[in-house]
A and B are shown apart, each in its own frame.
Chain A
Amino acid sequence: MIYNIPYFAVAALILIGLYAVVFKRNLIKIVIGITLIESGVNLFLITLGFRENSVAPIHTAGTTEKTLMSLPVPQALTLTSIVIGVAVLALMLSLVIHIYRHYGTLDVRKIKEVDE
């Protein structure tokens, strides 16, 4: 049971994120929703790679004893995904700034009113 807690956290993060993206009117909150989904997915990836009592997969000269090592691939994937996420976040926020400059508001409904 205790090992399943991260998966519940993943589900919660993704669902809260989706809720924010779909129902929130404020553009900044939509952006936060996307970062929440991203954190959920990253947490999922990193949880998959977890092995109890395992060590980092670094071979040192002279060791002969067998130790449990965790595969570094999920960590590498998560790291890549975080870096991409930062780039997307920066781009989204800069677009939000420009939308604010054009419309003077971040409320989706008010932006629609201005357009009509």
Chain B
Amino acid sequence: MDFLATLVNHSPALIIAVPLLGAFLTPLIGKINGKVRNVFVILVVACTSFLIALLAYNVFTNGALSADAVTNNIQTYVFGAKDIGTPAVRIAFEVDAMNAFMALIAAILPLAAVVYSWAFMKDETGQDKYYTLILLMTAGMLGMMLTGDMFNFFVFLEITSIATAALIAFRIDQKYSVQAAFKYIVISSIGALFVLFAVALFYGQYNALNMAVIGDSIKYTMLDKIALVLLIASLALKTGIAPMHMWLPEAYGRAPSSVTVVIIGTTLGSLYAMFRMIFTVYGKHIWDLGKTMALQLPQLLGILLVALAILTIILGVFMALKQSDLKKMIGFAAVAEIGYMLLAVGSAIATISLNESGVTVMTSAGQMALKGGIFHVLNDALDVGLLFLVAGAVYFAAKETSLNKLGGLARNMKYTTVFFLIGLFAVSGLPPLNGFASKLMIYESTYAINPILSIAAILCSILLLATFVKVFHSVFLGPKIPKFSNVKEVPKSMLIGMAIIAVIIIFIGLFPNLIVENIVKPASEALMNYGLYLGGI
């Protein structure tokens, strides 16, 4: 068997193992030299990203690299355990198109973050710990996105929260970062504990921890309803959906910018888990309306999610309008962006209904909305990530994030200004950037479902643009301020970090069809055809 096929076969395990081992080697290598350590960390992350790319390619092409590892676009990895039937005790990683799609996002963000950190963190102490935690966070995030086991998901969720909380408090001498970190760890450990409670409810009934096995045998009893509520509530808490959003702008705003980019990935990992629970674990009861007609679960769930989403968008945008701190403002914009994804997916769930011949289907508008929502997950990660990196660059150069004090930076920081403009246009959905492509899909499809939804979404998007134009004006334009006359352009590594994301943003903006057809469509189909995932184990 050739080397590449073996590598692809074992890639789900390696994707977790490489950053995990790298994390604990980092302090040792840091003893040699700071530069060697930075190169090592970048190599580890690049290696992980390469493995993710291999795995994703293999999954999307249904086995172009290693045909025997993949069936129906699902690659399952069981860590060498034998199938002993029931009880299903194996821990399995099950990677379908949706997992691969999320992992691709997780491949881009940490890479940009560690490249950016080289110069951004240069003068800080405790860099060994910083890089260790970043790699741990990456490993946890990828674990959340790839695992097919409920308890395993909980473990990775906790690994990610611990590493994230420690990193938010990285600037421990600033009281606000410690406070934000405490808020984050309280919120996320409560969220994770309720996920564990839901897992225990499943285990008590079905004697299984595997998502596919649970999804296959789920009966929708009273306990399952409780578990569904617990799962959605706790994962919404971890995703920062209003009214449980207050930790998110704090955490995003107080963490070092390079960390924030990775936190965005972990937040989206929780969002992915919510979709996986709804569409796959409860798939039978979402899609089998014919048998359980009285339940009307999709409508109920869809309307609830849409209501939360609209609340999230409006709250996020209006809070962003009144912020005077650059990073906190982008944090609220990130809250609003998560609302868009939830709006699209929620309205897609609400359209599931019986057609004339008695088969449950999602209407074509719903399918479009689902695609738009999934596409927006990728775009949001890139756009908000880029904006945070720019905010970090502004802080690095001017040592200031207050919008009232900053001004006239475009004179000295022309590349950063361009990157901010790209992020601004992308996040507020202006053509020809990627935010436009996915937001247009969301507007179009939600208009077909209910015009009010799309009107609210467009209005908030315009307000978001207004907010960012105001920020652009107050940070980069305006008269020269004597205090900032000596501000220099940020070092190369930070520019490269921002450029990695900016180039991908422009590429997706120019060729949205390429991405939608090849990556987003399989991912949305993976969510809709839950039977394939259940049969994959």
**A residues with CB within 8 A of B:** 14, 21, 27, 30, 34, 37-38, 41, 44-45, 48, 71, 73-74, 77, 80-81, 84, 87-88, 91-92, 95-96, 98-99, 102-103, 111, 115
Contact = CB atoms under 8 A, between A and B. Distances in A.
Contact of B182 (A27, A73, A77, A115): A27
B178 A74 contact: no
5 contacts: A37-B190, A44-B197, A88-B162, A88-B185, A95-B185
A91 B162 contact: yes
B151 A77 contact: yes
B70 to A, nearest CB: 29
Interface in B189-239: 189-190, 193, 196-197, 200, 203-204, 207, 209
B200 A102 contact: no
Contacts of A95: 165, 169, 178, 181-182, 185
A74 B165 CA distance: 28
Nearest to A90: B162
Contact of A103 (B169, B175, B193): B175
Given A34-B186, A77-B200, A95-B181, 12 more contacts: A14-B197, A41-B197, A44-B197, A45-B196, A48-B203, A74-B203, A80-B151, A84-B158, A98-B169, A99-B175, A102-B175, A115-B176
Interface in B167-189: 169, 172, 175-176, 178-179, 181-182, 185-186, 189
B194 to A, nearest CB: 8
A44 B200 contact: yes
Q: Which of A38, A48, A71, A95 has the most CB of B within 10 A?
A: A95
Contact of A73 (B89, B176, B196, B197): B89
Q: Which of A14, A87, A98 has the most CB of B within 10 A?
A: A98
Q: How big is chain B's contact interface, by range?
A: 20 to 34
A92 B182 contact: yes
A82 to B, nearest CB: 11
B172 A91 contact: no
Nearest to A89: B189
Q: Which of A27, A73, A87, A111 has the most CB of B within 10 A?
A: A73
Nearest to A72: B89
B244 to A, nearest CB: 13
A71 B87 contact: yes
A10 to B, nearest CB: 9
A82 B437 CA distance: 46
Contacts of B196: 41, 45, 81
Given A41-B196, A95-B178, A34 B203 contact: no
Given A48-B204, A81-B196, A21 B178 contact: no
B7 interface: no
B178 A102 contact: yes
Contacts of A37: 190, 193
A37 B189 CA distance: 10
B143 to A, nearest CB: 13
B185 A92 contact: yes
Contacts of B162: 84, 87-88, 91
A99 B165 CA distance: 14
Interface string B147-177: 0000100110010011001100100100110
Nearest to B159: A84
A84 B165 CA distance: 14
Contact of B189 (A34, A74, A80, A102): A34
Nearest to A96: B182
B178 A91 contact: no
B182 A45 contact: no
Given A45-B200, A73-B89, A95-B178, A84 B190 contact: no
A95 B176 CA distance: 12
Q: Which 8 A-B pairs have the closest CB atoms?
A: A102-B175, A48-B204, A95-B182, A98-B178, A84-B158, A45-B200, A88-B189, A41-B197
Contact of A91 (B151, B154, B165, B209): B165
A68 B136 CA distance: 41
B464 to A, nearest CB: 27
Contacts of A14: 197
Contact of B190 (A34, A44, A91): A34
Contacts of A103: 175
A27 B175 CA distance: 15
A48 B185 contact: no
Contacts of B181: 95
A98 B172 contact: yes
Contacts of A87: 158, 162
B432 to A, nearest CB: 43
A99 B179 contact: yes
Contacts of B200: 41, 44-45, 48, 77
B155 to A, nearest CB: 6
Contacts of A77: 151, 200, 203, 209
Given A77-B151, A98-B169, A99-B178, A38 B186 contact: no
Interface in B427-477: none
B186 A73 contact: no
A59 B207 CA distance: 21
B182 A84 contact: no
B94 to A, nearest CB: 19
Contacts of A80: 151, 155
Nearest to A99: B178
Contacts of B193: 34, 37-38, 41
A99 to B, nearest CB: 5
B263 to A, nearest CB: 16
